[in-house]
Amino acid sequence: MTEHTVEFVGTGETITVSERQTILSRCIEEGIAQEYSCRVGMCLACSAEIIEGEVEQTVAEKRGLTEEEAESYALTCMARPLSDLKLDRGKYPPSIENDAAGDVAHADD
């Protein structure tokens, strides 16, 4: 069983995750405060930006992420590592960030 190191930038937390496990399941086992909700790739609460490395997340690409977003973001509830990884937790695809920004009044409006 091949295992990879997953490092979370900012906090420096590091875990090992096998290619058969999701990153989120290992975070829960290790007590890492990774946000999540649906655990089926729909809500995007568990998103993290991929700073370095590669993941397998075919199901996530068919659900919450576009093909383009899946190159830069991992849904940790679905994603399994294919290499050592550096992830930035709590970073969301631009499509979500733009939705959130639309609700905020701008100072220069």
Min. distance of Cβ 40 from ligand FES in angstroms?
6
Take residue 36 and report the two structure tokens written for it.
């999540």
Site string for ligand FES, 79-108 (x = CB under 6 A): ------------------------------
* Of 90, 98, 85, 95, nearest in space to 6 by CA: 85
The least distance separating ligand FES from the CB of residue 24, rounded to whole angstroms, comes to: 7
Among 37, 58, 95, 98, binds ligand FES (CB under 6 A): 37
Using alpha carbons, select from 21, 29, 24, 28 the residue that is nearest to residue 1. 21
